[in-house]
Structure 1
Amino acid sequence: MVSRAQALACGLNPRALEWRVGSGRWRRVHAGVFATFSGPPSFEAQVWAAILRAGRGAVASHRTAAYLDGLCDDPGSVIHITVPADRYVQCKIDGVRVHQAHRLPLTRHPSKNPPRTRLDETVLDLVDIAPHPRDAETWVTAACQRRLTTPERLADALGRRKKIRWRPMVEAMLSDVADGAQSPLELRHLRRVERAHGLPTGCRQRRVAGQRVIWIDVDYPEHRLRVELDGRIGHIGEGRFRDRRRDNRATVDGHATLRYGHADVFGDPCGVAKEQARVLTTRGWTGHPRSCGPSCPIRPHDHQ
């Protein structure tokens, strides 16, 4: 891919450039951008074309940068490009979405080609435009699962951002890497799910001895209900099978298990409370869940 300015700087005159396009040796991809080969362009070639069309300082970003770095397996139908905030691309570019960023000189990768944002910044850009907390959670988890970054690096990048959507949830996710009885996820469940909706108080981090010692995040022994709060990022492999064996063993013993992640507890605490209340009621709880505010879906007698 080559821009008109690049071709002229290399000594090609305008007439020779037009001859190459007219003869079919080159193809016009965008206004002022040409493919110097025949056949369909690769994805990277399409990205280069979009960058050249967007002009000075442009880099691949968001889902496009994520695909280039192996963060996702589908590049999507639109190429995402970010330009410095002091620039405005006036003409619409087919198949390209142009973003603007004040911090682009700090967030672009210093050497990768095609030019793109740094991996940690790409993750946070995707979190910022995520329509639902579960989508934001998925990007953070995927980056750590695929060993492309670490929670510590993401937390460092997050700390440098003044504004970002879903900040409390992402901060909690990154803090919950180290398991602990007072993790942000467990505190959020205690305050926004249990107390705010008048649910019975569970036993937290309960140790249960057997053939193997297990720890239960929130246990309601009277009602034989267990709540597991999965605060581990990139939880795969043996850990997943261990959770499944624990849940199956609890079911055999007559316990029900509900499992929630950050997107559930931070994104929909009222929905979590409503679900827990229904299960507790079927298991003998005679209390009444209460609404935590005007927008809460829990209404009187929802437990019945």
Structure 2
Amino acid sequence: MVYPQVANRAWRDGADSRTLTCVDLDDLLASQQGVISRAQAHACRLTDRRLEWLVSSGRWQRVHLGVYATFSGPLPYLAWVWAAILRAGPGSVASHRTAAYLDGLCDDPGPVIHVTVPADRYVEPRIDGVRVHFAHRLARTRHPAATPPRTRVEETVLDLVDVAPRPREAETWVTAACQRRLTTPERLADALGRRKKIRWRAMVEAMLADVADGAQSPLELRHLRRVERAHGLPTGHRQRRIAGNRVIWIDVDYPEYRLRVELDGRIGHTGEGRFRDRHRDNRATVDGHATLRYGHADVFGDPCGVAAEQARVLRARGWTRRPRSCGPSCPHPSRDHQGSIPS
């Protein structure tokens, strides 16, 4: 019997498909979502003539050249992934957005299947619905047991960072992986250190330090950098857990000044999440805390305005300094060479 992990290992190592026997066929199909390659079919003693009859009779269907689905009707997503991997050949794995979807890193797999093959392999450059990538380090970056075969989650994140066209998209992949608890900043940093070349390296290294300090989304990172640090505001405590009759989480807490800042992305702030937010804000007000709430349009669109509003509340609650200018277009006055602010 060929169990899924055994078939997966054989495909990873490029084992000769003739080592499979005909009694393995049902188990092989179960492990590969009903998809099989011509070489595997030959190993199970199916001739080309038999394969052609199965396809022409409608019992099977040809998905790619030399790859078949052993059923009629639409293919489920995992079957498409297996078909792409089998078409690309032994040693191939799902990668990039496809691997991200398989691991729960994103909720949309995108319009094409991404596979990565060893760099020394030749693969037809055009496979319908499939994007082929090549990697020299694939033996080390592939997951040892996951099925369908795919890259390790840390490598998937870094692959997506490397092809991200904009910094904000790269931020999203890193923070999503940590926020969904699929990996940690430490494991990502370790994987990053083993890569010689990657786009956005300096930004990702800085992000990983910030994420380790508690910032869990691009919105929180933007607030940390462009609102708090850029304007010299006090350093808040991020993702602070407050225990009581009900455990609550504070996005950014300034306990010395009894001020809380909530950063509302779309996830978790609709429906029941919106009710929890209101309950938390009401409780904070009863306890003497002020709550400021900002969304993407505020923090990305007007970080200086957010800083000014926070600064007014902080000063009203005991902060004795003033915000500083973050650049030529910032409305806050610049500090002089001694660090003071002109009156």
Same fold (TM over 0.5): yes
Pair 1:202–1:70, CA change in 2 (3 A)? closer
User: Residue 57 of structure 1 aligns with which residue?
Assistant: 91
Is 1:166 the counterpart of 2:200 in the alignment? yes
Change (3 A) 1:159 1:260: farther
Q: Distance in 2 between matches of 1:13 and 1:83?
A: 28
Q: Deviations along 1:169-222, whole A, 9 cap, x unmatched?
A: 222222124549xxxxxxx999999999xx7x555569xxxxxxx99899xx9x
One-letter amino acid of the counterpart of residue 83, structure 1: V
Given that 2:117 and 2:134 are in contact with CA atoms closer than 8 Å, whether structure 1 keeps it comes out as: yes
Question: Alignment partner for residue 64 of structure 2, among 30, 44, 49?
Answer: 30
1:94 maps to which of 119, 124, 128: 128
What residue is the counterpart of 1:117 in the other structure?
151
State the match for 2:6 in structure 1.
Answer: none
Counterpart contact for 1:21–1:28, Cα < 8 Å: yes
2:168 maps to 134
Residue 8 of structure 1 aligns with an amino acid whose one-letter code is H
What is the root-mean-square deviation in Å for CA atoms of aligned residues? 4.9
SS in 2 for 1:97: strand
Match of residue 185 from structure 1: none
Return the alpha-carbon distance in structure 2 between the equivalents of residues 19 and 47 of structure 1.
Answer: 25
Alignment TM-score, normalising by the size of structure 2: 0.59
* Structure 2 residue aligned with 1:66: 100
Structure 1 segment 1-304 matched on structure 2, within 5 A: 1-179=35-213, 202=233, 272=303, 298=329
- Using the TM superposition, give the Cα deviation of residue 131 of structure 1 relative to its aligned residue in structure 2, in angstroms: 2.0
Which string of whole-angstrom CA distances, capped at 9 and with x for unpartnered residues, describes residues 204-248 of structure 1?
A: 569xxxxxxx99899xx9xxxx99798xxx999x9xx89x978x9
Farther-moved stretch of structure 1 (5-14 vs 47-56): 5-14
- 1-side partners of 2:197 and 2:118: how far apart? 17
C-alpha distance in 1 between matches for 2:235 and 2:87 = 56
Residue identity matched to 1:2: I
Q: Kindly indicate whether the alpha-carbon contact (under 8 Å) linking 2:115 and 2:133 is maintained by their aligned counterparts in 1.
A: yes
CA contact (8 A) 1:227 1:259 kept: no
Preserved contact between residue 119 and residue 149 of structure 1 (Cα < 8 Å): yes
Displacement after TM superposition at 1:56 (Å): 2.5
Unmatched segments (≥5 aa) in structure 1: 181-187, 207-213, 281-288
- The 1:7–1:64 alpha-carbon spacing in structure 2 relative to 1, beyond 3 Å, is same
Offset at 1:3?
Answer: 1.1
**How many Å apart are 1:256 and its aligned residue?**
11
1:138-183 CA deviation, whole Å, 9 max, x = no partner? 2222222222112211111111112222222222222124549xxx
Judge conservation of contact 1:228–1:260 (CA < 8 Å) in 2: no
Work out the CA distance in 1 between the residues paired with 2:326 and 2:179: 37
Q: Distance in 2 between matches of 1:47 and 1:28?
A: 14
Residue type of the alignment partner of 1:43:
Y
Indicate if the aligned counterparts of 2:142 and 2:151 stay in contact, CA closer than 8 A.
yes
The share of aligned pairs that are identical, in percent, is: 64
Paired residue total: 271
In 2, the alpha carbon distance for the partners of 1:276 and 1:73 equals 33
Does the C-alpha gap of structure 1 residues 217 and 204 become closer, same or farther in structure 2, counting only changes over 3 Å? farther
TM-score by length of 1: 0.66
CA distance in 2: counterparts of 1:62 and 1:235, whole angstroms: 26
Query: Which structure would you say has the larger RCO, counting Cα contacts within 8 Å and 6 or more residues apart?
Result: 1
User: Which 4+ residue blocks in structure 1 deviate beyond 3 angstroms?
Assistant: 177-180, 188-196, 201-206, 214-218, 226-230, 255-261, 270-280, 289-293
Q: CA deviation at 1:112?
A: 1.3
Q: How far 1:106 sits from its partner (Å)?
A: 0.6
Is the Cα–Cα contact under 8 Å of residues 51 and 60 in structure 1 kept in the other structure?
yes
Compare 147-156 and 168-177 and name the one that shifted more.
168-177
Amino acid at match of 2:210: D
